[in-house]
Amino acid sequence: MLVPYSRRNNSMFNPFHDFDALERAFFNDTSIGEFKTDIRDSGDAYVLEADLPGFNKDDIHVDLNGENLTISAERHSDYEQKDQKGNYVRCERSYGSYSRSFDVSGIDKAAIKAGYKDGVLRLTLPKMPELAPEQRRLEIE
Query: Tens digit of pLDDT for each residue in 73-113?
Result: 988 765 555 555 567 677 666 677 889 999 999 999 999 99
pTM comes to: 0.65
- Give the tens place of pLDDT for each residue, 50-73: 999 888 899 999 999 999 999 999
Characterize 109-139 residue by residue with b for buried, 16 or more Cβ atoms within 10 angstroms of its Cβ, and e for exposed: eeebeeebeeeebebebbeeeeeeeeeeeee
